[in-house]
Structure 1
Amino acid sequence: MNRRESAYVKSLVVVALAAVLTTAAFPQPWLTLVFPAVGVLFAAGGAAAASRLDAARRGRAFLPRAAAALLVPFWVFGAAVITAMLAAGWSWSAEEGTAPLTWDTAWLWLLPFADPPVSSDGFGLVGAVWFIRVYLWLLVLTPPLLWLSRRWPLRTMTVPLGAMALVTVGIVNPLGATADIVLGLSAYTTCWLLGFAHRDGRLPHVPVSTALVLGVGCAAAGIAVALWQEPLYGSYRLELNPAATMLFSLGGVLLLLRLDPWMRWMERVRGIHPVLSLFHSRSLTAFLWVNVVITLTPAAIAATPLAPYHTATTSGEVLEYTATWVLLLTVLVVLGWSEDLGAGRRPRLLPRRRHRVAAGPAAVAVRPDVTPDVAPGVVTAPVVQVTRSAAA
């Protein structure tokens, strides 16, 4: 994700990852209505993609680098879970949504433009693969999307909204893998576009009253749709209902990103940056491995002296939740280097502390090949014009 983001946006990513782990560890439907976790991750991804594309200047140079940053951690994850599924014996059942590993589908573990095949035993380990699928499609679409959003932001935003409306009312009825792709893109492209706007400094120009009305209205509409269609989906869990997910994520992310200019005091908080950098620069690894970590936690506790305290009580649940966090942090340290490798950085067990460079002409001259990030709220008209020319 964007390594030049503010401390506030990095903290949103940390909260989003905590929300993802918590909702996976405690599968209560109401927890999904508390925070737009996945929407925040896609917004941060959109901001990072816009930054990379501006730095690359050309979509042809952008896509291989951006795809590598996404796919290398995914390949490390895939190698581990495929080995585990093969070792357990690759059983599958079409009724369960699992499939055999064949030459016709194995390539999806390299380029997941659709969901790759999984076994029945490994189905619970790969819950995050859909995120990679949507993210990869959004990376491919970033060059035209960024060009369009900088010229016609509102009209571009209506495209995913309209696509979701057409599918929801039944005018368009995609099936199978096509439905997964269309619904996933429709649900989260709006957050990706908000990430573009945040990176360009366009969101602070939205009046606070407008952001508040639209944000609260969309989020409330998403919750209402989830509750209204509970009989249809069997639960009001947000991720089961694409239309509710889109509305709640759009409203929540708009509100959260609009607060950024007022949260700059976080930059001066001592000791916060190393913690935020650990999770922010390892966010993809954390998201991918959450389900695996949750699955392994009971066995890990059973192999320690804490096993007698792992009971079906509140204290036992707190112990398991704490152990899950410990295991996740271990995974970030042990496997987080894959994100460094994918991003073209020197692999490290812990992310390197980046020292702030003083603003000014000299700072720009140090890296003439990289378009500098400008803090939201201070973007001037000439800067926007230069960005548009470069994109064209």
Structure 2
Amino acid sequence: MSWGADQQGYGYGQQPQPYAQGYPQEYGQQNGQQYEQGYGRQYGQGYAPQPYGGPAQEPYVQPVPYEEHWSHVPEEAPDVSATARLDPVQPLSGESGPEEPEPEPEPVPRPKSGGRDRYFDALRAVALVRVVAYHTFGWAWAGMVFPSMGVMFALAGTLMAKSLERPALKVVRSRMRRLLPPFWFWGFFVVVAMLVHDWMPGWQIVFWIVPVGDPPGNRWGVQAWEILWYLRTYLWFVLLSPLLLWIFRKAPIPVLLLSLAPIVVFQYAWTPPYNRFGSALTDLATYLFCWLVGFAHREGVLQRLTPPLVVVVSLAALAFGGWYALAHQAQFGTYDLDEIPLAQAFFSAGFVTLLMYFKAYYDVDFAWLARFRRLDRIVTIFNGRAVTIYLWHEIALILAVPLIDTFWDVPAFEKWLPLESQWFMFGIGWVLIWIAIPLFGWVEDVAAKKRPKLLP
């Protein structure tokens, strides 16, 4: 699980503007401003949540930004020429008897990995860690190191293509069943908390049932619910996948390349409206290539391409995405890819193409993880609880602030702990996430029709 995720506003040729311009209050009431919480002495006058990535959007606050080879050396055959035993089948004269074939050496068993592809599992775990780190520190450069949301959409795309070997309706229903119950369980707490804090929803509350549009919320709870853009985009990709896969199979390479055209059109020809429809359309265009490159991996398209061609095209996409972000800082107010959809689309496209081609061409599976039991176990938990980690990580970071605030009342903690450090907050956030995994993660098991477990 940005698996992960972060966003604030689509500029599309405009300077970032203040939040509300006639849109309903439930969209949130602030964009690009600090949220005053009133606690957290270590953060000055009030706690200012970190920026959230994901496809940027303006003017309303948009949810952020959610599966070896082995070798062995045959044992040397013992030299029995000098000490051959005489037995009934042993030749007694100089004549040579029939040669017996050497016994086949027993193969070294490969480490067990639960039948999953550990390369994909490891990428998803790294993506989730990057999402939490970005939401803690707000690093603008994080997306250029590892575009987590593009990676998570590519992984989801290849798994969706694999699932669509079964009847499409059954697959779509199964995916929705796995996604919605954890979302409902988490959303119950968020909605009740916002109702307690003077939020009164309108008919748009239906998006808290099926998030085909951004669920509404108030300013008090925006840090929790703005990450839902990823679930909304994922849900749309799931619904569209049977059609997308049918189109992709008609002309794989042309369709893959043309999947970047919509985001170019949105940047230079037509800007989607600043509403639920527009934000969903822009997010789909931003990550469409990543989803389809997952199809390309599953369908065996990538394996047929030559390495020089793939490397050159991927590096060109990376270079363009990075250049566009850096060259348009004045326009968007940052070079953060999560704020610049065109740059995000091209940079993520180049990055995930290299990752997926590396997997397809060299057949890497990271089975060596099984030799490091603790690391392998962590990767397993991350993948078995990806939705839980993604949904609850923001709440964990929110709760970390008042918790750290109480540490200042203990003289020993104040003296010896780095209470002012965001790294300390990052650590406390992960402690709370690991508490949430056994407390709430069992909902994922129920949604998948499995026996509930504290840990997968």
Taking structure 2 as the reference length, the TM-score comes to 0.69
- Please point out which of 247, 259, 266 is paired with 2:367: 266
Relative distance call for 1:197 and 1:180 in structure 2 (3 A) is same
Q: State the AA in 2 paired with 1:214.
A: V
Relative distance call for 1:264 and 1:52 in structure 2 (3 A) is closer
Q: State the AA in 2 paired with 1:13.
A: R
Figure out how many residues of one structure are paired with residues of the other and give that number: 337
| Counterpart contact for 2:252–2:301, Cα < 8 Å | no
Relative distance call for 1:159 and 1:112 in structure 2 (3 A) is farther
Cα distance in 2 for partners of 1:268, 1:235 equals 38
Deviates more, 1:12-21 or 1:57-66: 57-66
Q: State the AA in 1 paired with 2:443.
A: S
* CA displacement, residues 44-95 of structure 1 (integer Å, 9 cap, x when unaligned): 11122222222xx2222221111111111111111111111112222xxxxx
- Please point out which of 387, 391, 395 is paired with 1:284: 387
Pair 1:226-2:321 in alignment: no
Partner of 2:402: 299
| Counterpart contact for 2:153–2:287, Cα < 8 Å | yes
Deviates more, 1:302-311 or 1:127-136: 302-311
Cα distance in 2 for partners of 1:310, 1:108 equals 43
Deviation of the 1:312 alpha carbon: 6.0
RMSD: 2.1
- Please point out which of 134, 157, 173 is paired with 1:64: 173
Partner of 2:201: 101
| Counterpart contact for 1:340–1:346, Cα < 8 Å | yes
Partner of 2:430: 325
Pair 1:214-2:303 in alignment: no
Q: Secondary structure at the match of 1:288?
A: helix
Partner of 1:23: 134
Name the larger-Rg structure: 2
Cα distance in 2 for partners of 1:250, 1:113 equals 24
Relative distance call for 1:279 and 1:197 in structure 2 (3 A) is same
Partner of 2:124: 13
| Counterpart contact for 2:267–2:342, Cα < 8 Å | yes
Deviation of the 1:301 alpha carbon: 3.2
Query: Percent identity over the alignment?
Result: 29
The unaligned stretches of length 5 or more in structure 2 are 4-66, 68-113
Q: Secondary structure at the match of 1:114?
A: coil
Q: State the AA in 2 paired with 1:65.
A: S
Cα distance in 2 for partners of 1:86, 1:40 equals 35
The unaligned stretches of length 5 or more in structure 1 are 91-99, 352-392
Pair 1:73-2:165 in alignment: no
Cα distance in 2 for partners of 1:194, 1:289 equals 29
- Please point out which of 350, 355, 379 is paired with 1:256: 355
Cα distance in 1 for partners of 2:145, 2:201 equals 37
Cα distance in 2 for partners of 1:342, 1:214 equals 40
